Amino acid sequence: MPIQQLSLHQINQDMQQCIQNCLDCHSICLNTITYCLQQGGHHAEPAHIRLMMDCAESCQTSANFMLRNSDLHAHFCGACAEVCQSCAEDCDRMGDDAQMKACAEMCRRCAETCRRMSMSMA
């Protein structure tokens, strides 16, 4: 297999992983918003809920841009990485809570693959 085809295959594999992480992050953020609203208190603070909504939306948008193979996907992935990182840090603030820790971990995983996707096109 020629080098060019190998690197194109690798990029596609990396993009597939990033798309999956974005879709998984979108899903867990939406589920966790419902959880937070049920918990109330600091879990339901408007700024926290808004950040989780921003994260879910940015993940969905980044996945859509990659699925369409848009030339602009790297820009969206870069922004998504920032939002996911902020969301992970905010979820970590909620203390020793399994749902919040799972959400933070998924956000970090998504941030990492989106960061790589963004840099691969720089």
CATH of the domain at 96: 1.20.1270.360
Query: Is 23 a residue whose pLDDT tops 60?
Result: yes
**Alpha-carbon separation of residue 43 from 14, 25, 46 (angstroms):** 34, 18, 9
The answer to whether residue 25 is domain-embedded is no
Domain assignment of residue 107, yes or no = yes
User: Over 70: is that where the pLDDT of 62 sits?
Assistant: yes
Instruction: Note whether 112 and 14 are within 8 A (CB).
Output: no
Of residues 67, 84, 74, 70, the one with CA closest to residue 118? 74
Higher pLDDT, 19 or 12: 19
Q: Is residue 23 part of a domain?
A: no
Domain extent at residue 76: 44-122
pLDDT tens-digit profile of 77-109?
Answer: 999 999 999 999 999 999 889 999 999 999 999
Q: Is residue 64 part of a domain?
A: yes
Torsion of CA 97, 99, 101, 102, to 10 degrees: 160
Answer yes or no: is 34 within a domain. Answer: no
Q: What is the mean pLDDT of residues 40-60?
A: 97
Res. 1: pLDDT tops 50 = no
Domain assignment present for residue 94? The answer is: yes
Task: Return the pLDDT at 2.
Answer: 43
The answer as to whether 15 is a domain residue is no
CB 49 within 8 A of CB 34: no
Q: Which of 29, 37, 31 is nearest to 60 (CA)?
A: 29
- Residue 17 domain-assigned? no
The count of structural domains within the chain is 1
